[in-house]
Amino acid sequence: MPHRTALVTGTLFALAAGLMWGLVFVAPVLLADYPPALLSFARYLAFGLIALPLAWLDRQRLRQLTRADWVQALELALVGNVVYYLFLAGAIQHAGAPLPTMIIGTLPVVIAVSSNLRDARRDGRLPWARLAPSLLVIASGIALVNQAELAHLRDDPAADLGRYALGALLAVGAVACWTWYPIRNADWLRAHPDRSPTVWATAQGVATLPLAVAGFAGYWGWSAASGSAFAMPWGPQPQLFVGLMLAIGLLASWLGTLCWNAASQRLPTTLTGQLIVFETLSALAYAFALRGAWPDATTLAGIALLVAGVVLALRVRPVPLAADAHAA
């Protein structure tokens, strides 16, 4: 596939993934009374159940996966799915949607730097001098939006800064999980260019199912044993809860992962890392729609800088490691 075509299609797949992944920031806001652990286990229970019929239809290609492949899928499912969303849901419920969204928004910077240090031999190195402007612009955009959110908090007399601080800390944990996930996921995809991204997305769904079943059952049992007043298993808004979990399981977990896998096969990991900014922009749009307010000028300026940073990043071309060393 020509490089330019791969760049365009990979970017479009990453955009589609970001639009769908942004939906996961909606559920903790609409289901604020639901424990984060329940939201995480229920989301991936839905993902696993949706993956089962897809796995049956694709059983011939799934049989080609080795035991090592399934172990890798299980690791990715645990860290990149269950633990990540446990942290993220908790962060949103403690700090509201915009603050965790912008902390997650540091992922393009964190992943780009991590991948550029780790994967230069495979993908080529994006020279730091050329990469720095885009990283600086993205970081400036994130700082502007964070400044606007902090001002919003200072104006709220009911704000609990300790609760917001805990939310921020949980969001940092989510960043750690999702710095590890796309890099390790890309390792497998780039090592298996002949494998379908669809199959790998389905395999991760199947691997997630036993984790989600065990977690959901364990939480239900713990809730009963501790005398919790929460109405297990579906909570006080069962129709909304089940509907949201199924929608997110299909769109964000399966289809979003499929699109991200397709992007990861076409683009260097450093660039795909920066394209996670699409998730941040989508989540911000959904958060402000739920808040019923337009973002202020500072927030809009920050969003514009995020977009500009991605555009700048896409203009940088990887340099083979030997050529980069020779130039240095």
pLDDT recorded at residue 122: 67
Q: CA-CA distance, 10 to 14, in Å (whole number)? A: 6
Q: Which of 76-90, 137-151, 284-298 has the highest mean pLDDT?
A: 76-90
**Per-residue confidence band for 268, with pLDDT thresholds at 50, 70 and 90:** confident
Average predicted confidence (pLDDT) for the chain? 85
Tokens 């997110």 found at: 248
Q: CA-CA distance, 110 to 116, in Å (whole number)? A: 10
Q: CA-CA distance, 129 to 134, in Å (whole number)? A: 10
H helix intervals, the chain: 3-21, 27-30, 36-57, 59-62, 67-76, 84-95, 98-104, 107-118, 120-123, 128-154, 161-191, 197-225, 238-248, 256-266, 269-275, 277-291, 297-314, 321-327
Q: Is the model's pLDDT at 22 over the cut of 80? A: yes
Q: Is the model's pLDDT at 160 over the cut of 90? A: no
CA distances from 2 to 94, 181, 220, 263, 266 (A): 46, 27, 51, 15, 10
Q: CA-CA distance, 103 to 262, in Å (whole number)? A: 25
Closest C-alpha to 60, from 254, 257, 198: 198
Q: Which of 39-48, 161-170, 316-325 has the highest mean pLDDT?
A: 39-48
Q: What is the mean pLDDT of residues 74-93?
A: 94
The region of weakest confidence among 33-42, 125-134, 204-213 is: 125-134
Extents of the domains making up the chain? 3-327
pLDDT recorded at residue 327: 44
**Count of all residues that appear for the chain in the document:** 328
DSSP bridge partners of 125:
319
pLDDT by residue (tens digit) across 54-82? Answer: 899 999 999 999 999 999 999 999 999 89
Contacts with 34 (C-beta within 8 Å, 6 or more apart), sequence order? 28, 235, 241
Rounded to the nearest 10°, the torsion over CA 190, 195, 198, 199 is -120
Q: CA-CA distance, 206 to 195, in Å (whole number)? A: 17
Q: Is the model's pLDDT at 324 over the cut of 70? A: no
Tokens 């500009």 found at: 308
State both tokens at 255.
């289809």
Q: What is the mean pLDDT of residues 69-96?
A: 93
Q: CA-CA distance, 308 to 81, in Å (whole number)? A: 29
The type of residue at 328 is A
Residue 261 buriedness (CB in 10 A; 0-12 / 13-18 / 19+): buried
pLDDT recorded at residue 195: 83
pLDDT by residue (tens digit) across 29-55? Answer: 999 999 999 999 999 999 899 889 989
DSSP string, 22-71: GGGGTHHHHTTTS-HHHHHHHHHHHHHHHHHHHHHHTHHHHTTS-HHHHH
pLDDT by residue (tens digit) across 290-317? Answer: 888 888 888 889 888 877 887 787 677 7
The type of residue at 98 is P
